[in-house]
């Protein structure tokens, strides 16, 4: 189908509904149904076409590996909670922390063993660091900022063994396929990491606050600290953050499986990417990424279960945590499937051709990355979800890159950066709400003390996207 203005209707319906309702799954579903109807020309056939798009999203082996990886990694992070690993790290940290700076740095100290998933990281670091900040009589608002940054901003920059990697690869793979771009989604993701200026900037801010204070908390808005409406609330997040470790503290129960997981991923990257004359680095770049991370996670899950069973952890307890952890990842899995399906529908409507003829040829490429970043920032703030924003903005951003000649890794970095804003400062974002609950800070206080620094980084990032595009030509 030749691209015309009708091709943007599914995307507009999805984005508009998401902003109004703050619910991304119904919004994607509505946009997908609209796409199916527009493709076929009538309601009844459109419903059937919608189901075809959804089933097609499962048919790709790469997609199936990503879905299974997300479920298994969610299960693995939940199983970690049952065997005393987090308590063990907390006990080790308490011996060394004497002041506020030490309590804040403890978040970074625990991060190498909690970076698998943002929610797991928030819960684990909060469990370790909250008693330490109280012991040092330090600022819990500073602690909330550091925990938030090391989850929502740091994890998106880590290219192995995280739930973010699987999801981001799925979004990029779908977008580059629709845009007609060849190459590895993983390689493109690696190239985009230095261009995620917002996430990098917030990490720098967190260190400046830890070591220099940086006037933290001086800028406030009036408010009672309550969140009157939205997707999440503090009670919900508090319930999510509670978990019971029935076994003695043992840091090795977290450390050993994590080392195993990372080692297996690196080995399988090399194993699946090796070829005649390829160096180790070249093998990693040419790896079967989706298959490798799935197998590594599956093997780690099995061996971790065996380790815990040998320590007398009941298998029934492990099974319960396995199902709970996998279920927690169902929302992003559904979002990913729907975004894949919506992308197929918009392609059939000629969305790519329409964007190429309009925005791509009228806006100078110098400003394309900055515009993509700001659109993503706006979207993620009002939706409160980085994952949903990436799925909505990535296809548009890559097509704009193709039609305007903008640098493709820079555009991917702009999409990831813009989507990350919501998980940092939106009062509707899962990470801010969960962080506020775990650190016992009101959500409004957490957002208001973080927002001034985020606004500065947003402004600087916008400038950097323009300057970088100019330098890259």
The 10s digit of each residue's pLDDT in 345-383 is 877 887 666 766 666 567 788 889 999 999 888 878 877
CA 310 to chain centre: 34
Q: pTM for the full model?
A: 0.70
Token digits of residue 412:
């991917």
pLDDT of 273 higher than 60:
yes
Tally of domains in the chain: 1
- pLDDT the model gives residue 215: 66
Helices (H), 274-367: 280-285, 289-310, 315-328, 330-348, 351-357, 359-362
**Cβ(349)–Cβ(31) under 8 Å?**
no
CA 279 to chain centre: 31
pLDDT of 398 higher than 60:
yes
pLDDT of 91 higher than 70:
no
The closest alpha carbon to 344, from 395, 415, 398, belongs to 395
* Residue 285 domain boundaries: 5-472
pLDDT of 467 higher than 90:
yes
pLDDT of 407 higher than 60:
yes
Average pLDDT of 281-286? 70
- Token pair 């469990």 in the structure block, residue: 127
Query: What span, in angstroms and rounded, lies between the C-alpha atoms of 411 and 109?
Result: 32
Q: Where does the pLDDT of residue 87 fall: very low under 50, low under 70, confident under 90, or very high at 90 and above?
A: low
Using only the alpha carbons of the chain, give its radius of gyration: 22
Instruction: Choose from 61-75, 134-148, 228-242 the range with maximum mean pLDDT.
Output: 134-148
Average pLDDT of 426-441? 76
User: How confident is the model over 107-137, as pLDDT tens digits?
Assistant: 887 787 777 777 667 777 776 777 778 777 8
pLDDT of 242 higher than 60:
no
Helices (H), 213-285: 234-241, 252-273, 280-285
Helix, strand or coil, per DSSP, at residue 471:
helix
User: How confident is the model over 133-151, as pLDDT tens digits?
Assistant: 877 788 888 888 999 998 8
Percent of the chain with pLDDT over 70: 82
What is the DSSP secondary structure assignment for residue 156, as one 8-state letter?
G
**Cβ(33)–Cβ(46) under 8 Å?**
yes
Query: What span, in angstroms and rounded, lies between the C-alpha atoms of 114 and 86?
Result: 9
| Residue 363 φ then ψ, to 5° | -95, 125
CA 288 to chain centre: 21
pLDDT of 419 higher than 80:
yes
CA 116 to chain centre: 11
Instruction: Choose from 11-15, 20-24, 441-445, 461-465 the range with maximum mean pLDDT.
Output: 461-465
Average pLDDT of 82-98? 67
User: How confident is the model over 34-64, as pLDDT tens digits?
Assistant: 989 988 888 888 889 999 888 888 777 777 8
Token digits of residue 130:
């909250």
- H or E stretch covering 188: helix 185-192
Query: What span, in angstroms and rounded, lies between the C-alpha atoms of 27 and 49?
Result: 18
Query: What span, in angstroms and rounded, lies between the C-alpha atoms of 169 and 182?
Result: 14
Q: How many CA atoms lie within 13 A of 391 on its CB side?
A: 30
Token digits of residue 152:
């929502």
- H or E stretch covering 412: helix 408-425
**Cβ(24)–Cβ(131) under 8 Å?**
no
| Cα 443-448-453 angle, rounded to 5 deg | 130
pLDDT of 463 higher than 50:
yes
Helix, strand or coil, per DSSP, at residue 428:
coil
């Amino acid at each position: 189908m030749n691209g015309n203005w009708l091709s943007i209707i599914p995307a507009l319906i999805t984005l508009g509904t998401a902003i109004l309702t703050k619910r991304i799954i119904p919004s994607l579903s509505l946009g997908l149904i609209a796409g199916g109807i527009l493709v076929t020309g009538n309601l009844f056939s459109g419903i059937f076409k919608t189901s075809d798009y959804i089933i097609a999203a499962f048919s790709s082996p790469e997609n199936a590996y990503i879905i299974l990886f997300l479920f298994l990694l969610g299960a693995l992070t939940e199983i970690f909670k049952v065997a005393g690993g987090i308590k063990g790290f907390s006990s080790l940290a308490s011996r060394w922390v004497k002041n506020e700076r030490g309590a804040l740095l403890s978040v970074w100290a625990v991060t190498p063993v909690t970076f698998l998933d943002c929610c797991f990281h928030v819960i684990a670091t909060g469990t370790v660091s909250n008693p330490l900040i109280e012991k040092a009589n330090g600022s819990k608002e500073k602690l909330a900022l550091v925990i938030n940054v090391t989850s929502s901003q740091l994890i998106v920059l880590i290219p192995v063994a995280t739930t973010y990697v699987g999801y981001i690869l799925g979004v990029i793979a779908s977008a580059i396929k629709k845009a007609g771009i060849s190459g590895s989604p993983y390689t493109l993701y690696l190239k985009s990491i230095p261009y995620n200026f917002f996430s990098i900037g917030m990490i720098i801010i967190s260190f400046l606050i830890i070591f220099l204070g940086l006037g933290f908390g001086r800028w406030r808005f009036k408010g009672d600290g309550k969140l009157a409406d939205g997707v999440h609330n503090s009670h919900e997040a508090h319930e999510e953050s509670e978990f019971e470790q029935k076994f003695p503290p043992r840091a090795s129960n977290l450390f050993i499986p994590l080392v195993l997981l990372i080692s297996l991923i690196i080995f399988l990257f090399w194993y699946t990417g090796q070829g005649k004359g390829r160096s180790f680095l070249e093998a990693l770049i040419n790896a079967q990424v989706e298959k490798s991370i799935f197998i590594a996670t599956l093997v780690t899950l099995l061996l971790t279960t065996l380790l815990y069973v040998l320590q007398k952890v009941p298998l029934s307890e492990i099974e319960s945590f396995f199902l709970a952890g996998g279920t927690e990842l169902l929302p992003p899995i559904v979002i990913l499937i729907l975004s894949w399906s919506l992308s197929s529908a918009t392609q059939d409507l000629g969305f790519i051709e329409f964007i190429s003829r309009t925005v791509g040829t009228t806006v100078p490429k110098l400003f394309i990355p900055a515009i993509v970043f700001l659109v993503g920032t706006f979207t993620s703030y009002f939706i409160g979800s980085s994952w949903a924003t990436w799925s909505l903005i990535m296809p548009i951003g890559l097509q704009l890159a193709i039609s305007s000649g903008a640098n493709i890794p820079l555009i991917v970095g702009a999409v990831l950066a813009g989507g990350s804003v919501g998980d940092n400062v939106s009062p509707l974002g899962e990470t801010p709400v969960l962080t506020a609950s775990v650190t016992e800070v009101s959500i409004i206080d957490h957002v208001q003390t973080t927002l001034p620094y985020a606004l500065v980084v947003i402004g600087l990032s916008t400038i950097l996207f323009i300057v970088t595009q100019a330098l890259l030509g």
